[in-house]
Amino acid sequence: MGRKRNTEEEPLRSATYTVYADGSMVLEGETLPARFELRERGFVKVLGWVCLVFFLALEGLAAAQEDMGAGYLLAGGLLVLASLWLLSDAYVRRICVDGEVIRYTTSLGRRREFTVSDIGWMTLNPADSSRVYDREGRLLLRYESNMRNAPYFIWFLTEHHIPIRG
């Protein structure tokens, strides 16, 4: 049986890719789809919910104590902020590629739309966030290499001859 091409409904889980000397990249056994979306993986959602549950448990413990110190409040506040940030990152943040148009929604819901011709260069950092800049050097978006369909996005950018800078 033939292998089905990955779509938005079937996100690319992992990929083997080859980068050639001219900077072009090919995923083994795949074709680059015209439309795809980058999203955080499920781990970020789970971590966000775990932080929130841990906060509720900490607050329950603090409510049972008569002498509730500032440490409980500070720890609880930090856990709430961390869980809200992680959940927002997991549920709101996304990068949608549709032909030549890229739509980026930040974790806080801010939306940007631009075309490939607006991109000046990119940085690749597999251990941290990779970034895409416009021709004037302003940051357009950031993404992580562990996001769903990130190999497609890197392939998409190299297919459009976007230079990689260190």
Q: What is the pLDDT of residues 29-80, one digit of tens each?
A: 677 888 999 888 777 777 777 777 777 777 776 666 666 666 666 777 777 7
pLDDT at res. 63: 64
Residue 2: which pLDDT band, with cuts at 50, 70 and 90?
A: very low
pLDDT at res. 5: 44
What does the pLDDT average to over 104-133?
Answer: 90
112 alpha-carbon distance from chain centroid: 15
β-pairing, 35-38 vs 25-27, is unpaired
Give the helix, strand, coil percentages of the chain, each rounded to 5: 35, 25, 40
pLDDT at res. 15: 54
% of the chain residues with pLDDT over 70: 74
pLDDT at res. 141: 93
Q: Which residue has the higher pLDDT, 101 or 50?
A: 101
pLDDT at res. 67: 63
CB under 8 Å, gap of 24 or more: what pairs does 108-114 form?
112/140, 112/141, 114/140
